[in-house]
Amino acid sequence: MRNFKMILQYEGTRYQGWQKQDSTDNTIQGKLERLIEKMSLECSSEGQEVTIQVNGSGRTDAGVHAMGQTANFLLDTDWTTEHIMEYINTYLPYDIGVISLTEVPERFHSRLMAKGKTYRYRVINSTLPHVFERRYVYEYPEKLDMELMRQAAELLEGTHDFRAFTSAKKSKKSTIRTIEKIELEQKADEISFTFSGDGFLYHMVRILMGTILEVGTGKRTLENLQKVLADPNAKRDDTGFLVPAKGLMLMEVRY
Amino acid sequence: MRNFKMILQYEGTRYQGWQKQDSTDNTIQGKLERLIEKMSLECSSEGQEVTIQVNGSGRTDAGVHAMGQTANFLLDTDWTTEHIMEYINTYLPYDIGVISLTEVPERFHSRLMAKGKTYRYRVINSTLPHVFERRYVYEYPEKLDMELMRQAAELLEGTHDFRAFTSAKKSKKSTIRTIEKIELEQKADEISFTFSGDGFLYHMVRILMGTILEVGTGKRTLENLQKVLADPNAKRDDTGFLVPAKGLMLMEVRY
């Protein structure tokens, strides 16, 4: 079997997220699998439709965008990577695109081998309309203290148990993660927050963001954040609000 | 009467252009006039709805976008400019926004007093998908010679009779215009063309663009362009194709 690695862009607005669902086909994974299954009718060595599994590096929630999601799939075909990429881009809707498609060793797996990810969250800190950016930013006009937010970001960096920073139900899986860097950048009335880490729990970036914004407005102190981070019994109620999905973009997956 | 000057952003995708039409209300001017007329019920000195005329600096065609369209309207009210801007932005659809609203002398008129305009046209010179830019760019993957296009742009700069570069029917109005500058900028697979001039005829930027692209692909020579520009009998058939509206953005109007 040949193994193909894709780098994908998508605007999440219209979709119910990455992960295929039984009841609906309105997911990015679902769209890709059906399309590649149709393609297999024409290109597979078996000459008939085969079942395709597209492994994403991770799920993105409904409404979240991607500049560099990574996914792979196995297929027996003699088509070139250029031909496959052209076919897929021809039939994908305009809000999903494959920007790179390469052949990789069969053992490569987008999720299992991901070493790190980068997400960006964009906040518009004013009431001014941003017509061209409106689908990709969160309008949050409250007064924000950049210095306090930078300090909050610094507290969150490093290796912590982030169990209070996820909406996932309790499970036996580890909730320890390492955040390498949270970078804040201010340009005019936009503040972008770039999170790089080894992996992120369900809703984790959006809850980290809500927590940082609460520090920025003064609703939460740095001392409180420090306490919650150190408390092995901290719960979801102790952390910040869940910011809207639309401001979030998966930028890159590292291997 | 107080006179208010607005700077507007809009995504033209959903609209039939700037100019109000009788048969439809799906224009940007129409949306603004109806909204400000409704506002006048609450804010006008007369205490009743007044008819509002919103003067744009010029029409933009269906599908063309604006980063800095300018428009003005007259209204007797004691509301502050902040209050008026907030009201308008609250009720405008998300793809239209007022980014500045100031009071100006009564003699100010957006169209009659405009001294110059800048338009930008964005071309994606590859077959790669551009998910986040797709509404604002023209995908034109043919091989383009930047140097030839720069020379074509230079020929077009200056004062010429652009009668062959408009789709407008013949009229007695002058078709002489001055293009101060056409700037080409290449970034990865995107080429942007920035046109600054004292004014542009109907479809003129899009026909200039088509002409420059024809020079870029070698379909048209610089000599031909020079001849057409100098020929007082040149016709629309002698100039380039009309590029799609969606790549065009009105950047700025100067006074």
Give the pLDDT confidence of B155-195 residue by residue, as tens digits.
999 999 999 999 988 778 899 999 999 999 999 999 999 99
- In chain B, residues with a C-beta closer than 8 Å to the C-beta of A9 are 129-132
Q: Is B145 left (phi over 0), alpha (psi -120 to 50) or beta?
A: beta
Q: Which of B10, B127, B131 sits opposite A131 (nearest CB)?
A: B10
User: Could you read off the pLDDT of B59-114 as tens digits, one per residue?
Assistant: 999 999 999 999 999 999 999 999 999 999 999 999 999 999 999 999 999 999 99
Which residue of B11, B98, B129 is in closest CB contact with A132? B11
User: B117: closest CA among B55, B194, B192?
Assistant: B194
Asked if A86 is an interface residue toward chain B (Cβ–Cβ < 8 A), one would say yes
Any catalytic annotation for residue B22? no
Q: Are B70 and B7 in contact (CB under 8 A)?
A: yes
Q: What share of chain A is helix, strand, coil (3-state, %, to 5)?
A: 30, 30, 40
User: Cβ–Cβ contacts within 10 Å for residue B42, how many?
Assistant: 11
In this complex, the residue of B67, B127, B132 whose CB is nearest that of residue A9 is B132
Residue B46 has pLDDT above 80, yes or no: no
Chain segment A167-207, per-residue pLDDT in tens: 988 778 899 999 999 999 999 999 999 999 999 999 999 99
pLDDT for residue A172 = 83
Of residues A22, A25, A61, A95, which has the active-site annotation?
Answer: A61
What does the pLDDT average to over B215-240?
A: 96
Count how many Cα atoms sit within 13 Å of the Cα of residue A237 in the half-sphere of its side chain. Answer: 1
CA B191 from chain centre, in angstroms, equals 18
Helix B222-230 vs helix B146-156: crossing angle, to nearest 10: 10
Per-residue pLDDT of chain A (255 residues), as tens digits, is 999 999 999 999 999 999 998 766 899 999 999 999 999 998 887 778 899 999 999 999 999 999 999 999 999 999 999 999 999 999 999 999 999 999 999 999 999 999 999 999 999 999 999 999 999 999 999 999 999 999 999 999 999 999 999 998 877 889 999 999 999 999 999 999 999 999 999 999 999 999 999 999 999 999 999 999 999 999 999 999 999 999 999 999 999
B146 close to B186: Cβ distance less than 8 angstroms: yes
Taking phi over 0 as left and psi of -120 to 50 as alpha, with beta for the rest, A167 belongs to alpha
Strand, coil or helix: B113: coil
- B67 touching A, CB under 8 A? yes
Domain B116-254, CATH: 3.30.70.660
- Residues of B with Cβ-Cβ distance to A136 under 8 angstroms: 132
Q: Is B14 on the interface with A (CB under 8 A)?
A: no
- Which residues are within 8 A (CB) of A171 and not within 5 positions of it... i.e. 6 or more apart? none
> Looking at chain B, which residues constitute the CATH 3.30.70.580 domain(s)?
2-104
Nearest to A192 by CA among A232, A251, A241: A251
Cα–Cα dist B44/A195, whole Å: 49
Confidence (pLDDT) at B171: 76
Amino acid (1-letter code) at residue A188: A
The string of pLDDT tens digits covering residues A49-78 is 899 999 999 999 999 999 999 999 999 999
Q: How far is B132 from chain A (nearest CA, A)?
A: 7
Q: Say how far apart CA B112 and CA B108 lie, in whole Å.
A: 8
B window 92-151, beta carbon within 8 A of A: 92, 94-99, 127-132, 134, 136
CB contact under 8 A, A129 and B92: yes
List every span in chain A annotated with CATH 3.30.70.660: 116-254
What is the torsion angle, in degrees rounded to the nearest 10, for the CA atoms of residue B152, residue B156, residue B161 and residue B162? 70
**Of the partner residues B11, B86, B132, the one whose CB lies closest to the CB of residue A11:** B132
Query: Is the CB of A128 less than 8 angstroms away from the CB of B99?
Result: yes
Check residue A44 and give its pLDDT: 80
> Which positions 163-222 of B are in contact with A (Cβ < 8 Å)?
none
The pTM for the full model equals 0.91
The architecture in CATH of the region B2-104 reads 2-Layer Sandwich (3.30)
Q: How far is CA A238 from CA A54, A90, A182, A244, B11, in A?
A: 36, 47, 21, 19, 41
Tokens describing residue A95: 């809000």
Give chain A's end-to-end CA distance (angstroms, integer): 21
CA distance B38 to chain A (A): 21
Instruction: Please list every residue in chain B whose beta carbon sits closer than 8 Å to the beta carbon of residue A95.
Output: 131, 134
